[in-house]
């Protein structure tokens, strides 16, 4: 089973390449493995925002802020 850091790295690369659907798949796996990690929620939210799924993205960013209220990365 891949590590969360590997999933985030692969997903981030795909996100930068504009391959949003595949990136989302990696971030969703990361969220399942570490649901208490705000970074996983931020990455998933960024990808959803890129896909135009703004309500879903907002839910992810809000979840990241619930986990870490001082998180400046929560877009």
Residue 69's pLDDT is what?
Answer: 87
Confidence of residue 1 (pLDDT cuts 50, 70, 90): low
**59 within 8 A of 42, measured Cβ to Cβ:** no
In CATH terms, the superfamily for domain 4-67 is Tetratricopeptide repeat domain (1.25.40.10)
- pLDDT score for 70: 82
Q: Where are the domains of the chain?
A: 4-67
Q: What is the 3-state secondary structure (H, E, C) of 13-50?
A: HHHHHCCHHHHHHHHHHHHHHCCCCHHHHHHHHHHHHH
Reduced to 3 states (helix: H, G, I; strand: E, B; else coil), residue 53 is coil
pTM for this one?
A: 0.90
Cβ count within 10 A of residue 18: 8
Q: What is the pLDDT of residues 27-67, one digit of tens each?
A: 999 999 999 999 999 999 999 999 999 999 999 999 999 99
- Position with higher pLDDT, 2 vs 27: 27
């Amino acid at each position: 089973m891949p590590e969360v850091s590997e999933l985030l790295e692969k997903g981030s690369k795909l996100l930068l390449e504009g391959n949003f659907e595949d990136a989302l798949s990696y971030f969703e796996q990361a969220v399942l493995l570490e649901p208490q990690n705000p970074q996983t929620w931020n990455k998933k939210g960024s990808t959803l925002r890129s896909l135009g799924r703004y309500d879903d993205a907002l839910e992810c960013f809000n979840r990241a802020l619930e986990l870490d209220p001082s998180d400046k990365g929560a877009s």
